[in-house]
A and B are shown apart, each in its own frame.
Chain A
Amino acid sequence: SQKIEQNSEALNIQEGKTATLTCNYTNYSPAYLQWYRQDPGRGPVFLLLIRENEKEKRKERLKVTFDTTLKQSLFHITASQPADSATYLCALDMGYGQNFVFGPGTRLSVLP
């Protein structure tokens, strides 16, 4: 069966450290993998998109990698801040006419 896993339901790290979140999937062939941030009671906010033929993308303090052989994406937040505390969702996009599926999310808490 098709499955998406994110490394843990909750992750606590100290301010200033790098947070690393993992997204693993089985039996999907996504055209893209996207990462979103969701704060309580609000809609998700897009962060980064990486295509199946790309290895790495960066945006300011954010970095995402995509390994289609391992069926895994890693999402890094460097120099983390308490304001980075939120739930982070990976999402697999199979493209036009196909499914778009969110992973279960990781709730990140950055402690001052």
Chain B
Amino acid sequence: DTEVTQTPKHLVMGMTNKKSLKCEQHMGHRAMYWYKQKAKKPPELMFVYSYEKLSINESVPSRFSPECPNSSLLNLHLHALQPEDSALYLCASSQTRLRDSLWNEQFFGPGTRLTVL
């Protein structure tokens, strides 16, 4: 299984809602990532988990809260979002995040299209 799955595919939420995005992989990868992508822009790294520990938080507002319950799952909890947070949220995984590793290619999921009203 070489797939990263993300649910839901689409999400519409109000500014007072609480929702969660889910990501799953069964490739045995130990690094997982959340990215945000706006239209016609490249993906922007938000968070990196390495061996289930948060290793990078790219100054993301606290209304985004990541969670890595186990090595296969990654969640992104959303609360009190703003309309400018509307974007495609991409999850990715890679075998490791080691500097000398040969296995740093990232596998991306299809994304969750989020609209904040």
| 0/1 string, B73-87, CB within 8 A of A gives 1 | 000000000000000
The answer to whether B45 touches A97, judged by C-beta atoms less than 8 angstroms apart, is no
Structural contact, B42 and A105, CB atoms closer than 8 A: yes
User: How big is chain B's contact interface, by range?
Assistant: 20 to 34
Using CB atoms and an 8 Å cutoff, list the residues of chain A in contact with chain B.
31-32, 34, 36, 41-46, 49, 89, 93, 95-105
Closest to B109 in A: A43
Q: A49's contact among B58, B105, B107, B109, by CB below 8 Å, is which?
A: B105
Give the shortest distance, in Å, between B95 (CB) and chain A (any CB): 12
- Give chain B interface residues in 42-100, CB to chain A under 8 Å: 42-45, 48, 50, 55-56, 58, 90, 92, 97-99
Docked-complex contact B104 and A89, CB < 8 angstroms: no
Q: How far is the CA of A44 from the CA of B42 in the complex (A)?
A: 10
How far is B108's CA from A96's CA once the two chains are assembled, in angstroms? 19
Q: Of B50, B99, B108, which is within 8 A of A45 by CB?
A: B108
The interface of chain B, by Cβ under 8 A from chain A, is 4, 33, 41-45, 48, 50, 55-56, 58, 90, 92, 97-99, 104-111
Contact A31-B105, Cβ < 8 Å, known A101-B45, A103-B42: no
Whether B56 contacts A99 by the Cβ 8 Å rule is: yes
- B45 with A42: CB separation less than 8 A: no
User: A99 to chain B: which residues have CB within 8 Å?
Assistant: 45, 56, 58
A–B complex contacts, Cβ < 8 Å, 20 sampled: A34-B105, A41-B111, A42-B110, A42-B111, A43-B4, A43-B90, A43-B109, A44-B90, A44-B106, A95-B99, A96-B50, A96-B97, A96-B99, A97-B56, A97-B97, A98-B56, A100-B33, A101-B45, A102-B42, A103-B42
Residues of the A chain whose Cβ atoms lie less than 8 Å from the Cβ of B99: 31, 95-96
Q: How far is the CB of A92 from chain B (nearest CB, A)?
A: 11
Please measure, in the bound complex, the distance between the C-alpha atom of A43 and the C-alpha atom of B92, giving whole angstroms. 9
